[in-house]
Amino acid sequence: MTDTTTHQTDARTLADARALADRWNAQQTGYIRHRAERFDTIARVVAGVCADVAEPRILDLAGGPGSLAIEVLARVPGARAVVADKDPALLAIAADLAAGTGRFEVAEVDLADGGWAEHPLIAAAPFDAVVSSTALHWLQPGTLVDVYRRLATLVRPGGIVLNGDHLSYDAGHESVLAGIALADDEAMQRETFTGAVDTWDEWWRAVAETPRYAGAMERRAGVWGAELHEAPPKATLGLHLQALRSAGFRQTGTVWQYLDDHVLYAVR
């Protein structure tokens, strides 16, 4: 388990982590045309919800190297965050970044494991906001429903969940927009991955070549196994919103959308 309370990072390590985080953000933006706008929207809504809270507490769910948490923290003064994720290598980078800011900690959890919310950093709820980006589509629909139910117990009344993710169109009954979204993704990737920006595989090669993360990369292979490449069945927008409502969130909807890229919100 990675824990930033005992985590030490020197200047060189921090610079390496920041360089990998910058490369991660560029790489992810290649796959998500308006990722920066999506993040900015989430951060602004969190700031609004936390306007009267002295020390807001944020949970970044499946937060990877912590990019979204860092963006939210930049917009919400006095806030602190927990970045929860399953991937030891992404969390090792997040932990180095966290040691540089002192404003967030990392929790290694598998959201498909029913006990994830018992991690001490998460069990110390309530949170004012739970945010997530480009991640929950990796959960089986049944697990997603369970995660939303659990979030209703972790967020304070009046607090919010914000989930930014691709909710892909149905190729059958939404074929026109499915085709436009696919063409848009392909065009964005052609524009981005011309050599200067890492693809997903190139970025992971860069991590593998960084000695600091060798141990985490070794653990990564064991943690994921074959599951790393298996995409679960799609969860529709309707499923997300229904699951959030039935979990007990009283206001739900879409706060931002570009084609199939959505930011959903749920107020407890």
Which residues of the chain form contacts with ligand SAM (CB under 6 A)?
28, 62-64, 67-68, 85-87, 90, 110-112, 133-135, 138
In this complex, which beta carbon is closest to ligand SAM, that of residue 125 or of residue 216? 216
Give least dist CB 63 to ligand SAM, A.
5
In this complex, which beta carbon is closest to ligand SAM, that of residue 21 or of residue 251? 21
In this complex, which beta carbon is closest to ligand SAM, that of residue 18 or of residue 245? 18
In this complex, which beta carbon is closest to ligand SAM, that of residue 54 or of residue 231? 231
Give least dist CB 21 to ligand SAM, A.
9
Integer Cα distance of 117 and 132 in angstroms? 15
Half-sphere exposure of 215 (CA within 13 A, CB side): 6
Give least dist CB 183 to ligand SAM, A.
22
Give least dist CB 48 to ligand SAM, A.
21
CB-closest chain residue to ligand SAM: 64
